[in-house]
Amino acid sequence: MPRFYLGVDGGQSSTIALIANAEGRIVGRGNSGPCNHVGTSEGRAKFLRAAGECLERACRDAGIDPLTVTFAAACLGFSGGAEDKESYTRELIRSSHYKITHDAEIALTGATAGAPGIIVIAGTGSIAFGRNTEGRMARAGGWGYIFGDEGGGFDITRRALRAALRYEEGWGPETRLRNLLAAALGASGANGVMHQFYTGVPRTQIASLARIVDEAAAGGDAIAIEILTGAARDLAAYVEGVYSNLFRREEVVPVAYIGGVFRSDLLRNRFIEEIRERIGCPCGPPKLSPAAGALLEAMRLDGNVKALSDVPESEK
């Protein structure tokens, strides 16, 4: 019987499934909505619906029957952790081997194509994750928006609002961030923005306003430049912490970055400089997507070390 492998990236905004055959050729792809929240009965239903839809679409794309296929191995990486999703996964997917893990591990495997290294993820929140040649792993950050997530989109917007409030109240330097944030929210000033944030604006929407800081920095706003430079330093400090826990000082390993905040040229370039100065390692974008990383993990779980081929452009 043909052997098939399944890799799934279950994120906060979407779920992506990839299927490969025994030669490592990607033969199916499917996507659906987010499946990371399962704490309630409604959450369980959303998880099964989203994961089921992307699995069915990937199977149809691969020309296999989703109702009868048993995968040689399946790896699923989830935003927010895997502990509360394992039983649902086994209920939905038939496989000879399972690996159910967090999104940072599959992102790292994709970023380095399975080699040792470090990845930093900075979207709404932030985390750095690494693995060495012995397979030992370490992380830094990922504490959530209240106690951490330095350098993530929410943190950048929070720093911007604090600067805008200080300026508005007369005890901080002038910054364009006050007017830009107010215009984006239709508020009369920074205080109005703050009240909107306290009364139900989703964290993802708040994080998306980090683009305003980049806009202000591009226009020469000193406070915005300082915020993005500080965010880059914090993200680089995460990486340095992981590196010191896993690698000898002279080891050179790849460092990859992924996530929306790295769309900022200023932040990304400063982050790369910080990595070079702190640990002397090459730094760049990932080789493959987290979903492709999950697929590689599934193949290795079955002892298959072939490289992936026919990788869609969206997964590179």
Q: For the segment 137-172, what is each residue's pLDDT rounded down to a tens digit?
A: 999 998 888 888 999 999 999 999 999 999 999 999
Residue 140 to residue 122: CA distance in whole angstroms: 12
Predicted pLDDT at 316? 75
Predicted pLDDT at 237? 97
Query: In this model, does residue 49 exceed pLDDT 80?
Result: yes
User: What's the predicted TM-score (pTM) here?
Assistant: 0.87
Residue 131 to residue 74: CA distance in whole angstroms: 20
Of the chain, the percentage scoring pLDDT greater than 70 comes to 96
Grade residue 287 by pLDDT with cuts at 50, 70 and 90: very high
Sorted by where each starts, the structural domains of the chain and their CATH numbers stand as 4-113+288-315 (3.30.420.40), 116-286 (3.30.420.40)
Grade residue 14 by pLDDT with cuts at 50, 70 and 90: confident
Q: Are 161 and 180 in contact (CB under 8 A)?
A: no
Burial class (CB in 10 A: 0-12, 13-18, 19+), 241: middle
Predicted pLDDT at 51? 83
User: Whose structure tokens read 């997964």?
Assistant: 315
Predicted pLDDT at 275? 97
